[in-house]
Chains A and B, each alone.
Chain A
């Protein structure tokens, strides 16, 4: 026999818990995030094949080039979704860095201590996630550099190499194709490590799936 009372209590407690969740990631951000994640994985894999075909060879060279080009343009278009959303939304505050150095270092140190020790002892994160203050100080400054400098640089260098002849004068102005190619490869190297570490940190929620689920629903538990 079903215990109706306990079932009602469970629903009520779920509703309370639901209310305690905050809407952190609006739909455009979630769409951008997952498409970007998929795009980055494909770009890293096809890029690895292009650069190291003797180590990683899962498709023909032509397929790798075409995939890399098309997905890159899709990721650029997707970036515009992200940029457009934040430029025309008051949520851009999530990327505002802490400008007070003392506060920044205090918070950053507390955050590092948390990830290096506190998290394993069940402590809660020193940074409280809020819709307009989503990132901890380290995330804020990292993502700002990544999204406004590193990613556009990768797009730009990739675009120049997509049609070397067409952008010949730009390439010459910037120091030649070796410079452009090397910058593109250096950023690829950065993302090779970044993507993996980012995915791992995504699994450091209350349960390994917590943050992933939150990135799909947009809601995060208030804590």
Chain B
């Protein structure tokens, strides 16, 4: 009798092979899962060792013991620090501020950094180098100390720190701002929490500095959807919070160019199609009108102009190659107390006359403040009437600003005091924000008036001439 092998018997082979395959798949899947880094969090050394150990099952027990020992050593060291630093101690800084040296032990040990040695960040203060009255460390101010300590975050969080380096916050810090946030301003110094553990709808930490904007946001369609737990469109997409549009570490201003529009379109990808179904010249409108202009229905508007280097494809500002322009711009502002786009236009022509790059003036219709930009209303409230922008006088009611990007991503806005964008002089400069009535020119208006008069005068004149000739003929005949 022939042996019934798994290969020879299809039913048996299915019963045996399927579970075997399932087990193999589970093992591979588990391996892949464990091999994946957990989100963006850069793993701490002890945890990493544990993970390495998991990847090599044979060494699990040994590694666990090593990790436990290492952790124990760290906690011992930390306990030694906390023995003094849980007491009310402070240090008088050079500027007279009192720097508290007290650490809330529980806050620290239960924080995201709870298993990290104090000296990992406070490298300058080793066990044998602890400052004493003899080796007193002088600290200018709390801000100075925070600035110094800020660099220690880079040791483990290099990727995030690099993003922060390119942010508007870091740029403000570099410019000497005392209010621009450092790592600890958002994450706190010792009670370090992962931001993903925060309830985003509370507005923390952005609200600390941007309270007005947060209030506007929380009343918006996005803020209210987020706070009530409503999801947008489908169960996986939550309404956006600050970092969804502005980034969490590489915080950026969304004022010049297509950044803001791209952020909106990121979630509302069918916007061009929906608008093209009813909005004349939808493509151009979406290019030159900020979303908030119509979707924050009570917002005041302004024209924001910026100069664009067509060769480099960047806005003209305080970046490499435009230093002369920027210097003259500052002089102009200091001397005249404001800025006139037409004069800036001439300035650009002067500064680039020997350069091959061509520069154009671009403009966008924006809301007049960042607060309005965040007060997005539900779709049913959005402005759908053309008259709200295209009626005469609308433009005259708007302010006009000239935006000049600064190094580090900030944008400096110069108020023009309301330049007349409909004059002949601005015809050349309206190439990128042309709208109906944009090419107002007195010459064309006069020509239109003359044509209108001619349309009446020629018939009336000809008819009158005819009557006069007829009368003459009749009189001659008589």
Contacts and interface: CB of A to CB of B under 8 A. Distances in A.
B312 interface: no
Interface in B436-478: 436-439, 441, 444, 447-448, 451-452, 454-456, 458-459, 462-463, 465-466, 469-470, 473
B359 to A, nearest CB: 14
B281 A119 contact: no
B281 A200 contact: no
A197 B458 contact: yes
B434 interface: yes
Interface string A51-75: 1111000001110011001000000
A120 to B, nearest CB: 4
A161 B394 CA distance: 22
B144 interface: no
B280 interface: yes
Contacts of A163: 281, 283-284
A182 B439 contact: yes
B431 A189 contact: no
A182 B428 CA distance: 12
B281 A61 contact: no
Interface stretch (B68-76, B154-162, B366-374, B383-391): B383-391
Nearest to B284: A164
Contacts of B391: 53, 61
Interface stretch (A85-93, A95-103, A104-112, A173-181): A173-181
A115 B465 CA distance: 11
A190 B451 contact: yes
Contacts, number: 108
- What is the size category of the interface that chain B forms with chain A? 35 or more
A62 B386 contact: yes
Between B385, B455, B459, the greatest number of chain A beta carbons within 10 A of the residue's beta carbon is seen for B455
Contacts of B427: 178
B444 A182 contact: yes
B284 A165 contact: yes
Nearest to A177: B434
A166 interface: yes
A62 B458 contact: no
Given A69-B280, A200-B459, A189 B469 contact: no
B439 A60 contact: no
A50 B455 CA distance: 20
Interface of B: 280-284, 286-287, 385-387, 390-393, 427-428, 430-431, 434, 436-439, 441, 444, 447-448, 451-452, 454-456, 458-459, 462-463, 465-466, 469-470, 473
Interface of A: 50-54, 60-62, 65-66, 69, 115-117, 119-121, 161-166, 176-178, 181-182, 185-186, 188-190, 192-197, 200
15 contacts: A54-B393, A60-B387, A116-B465, A117-B469, A161-B281, A165-B281, A177-B431, A178-B439, A181-B434, A185-B444, A189-B447, A193-B458, A197-B458, A197-B459, A200-B458
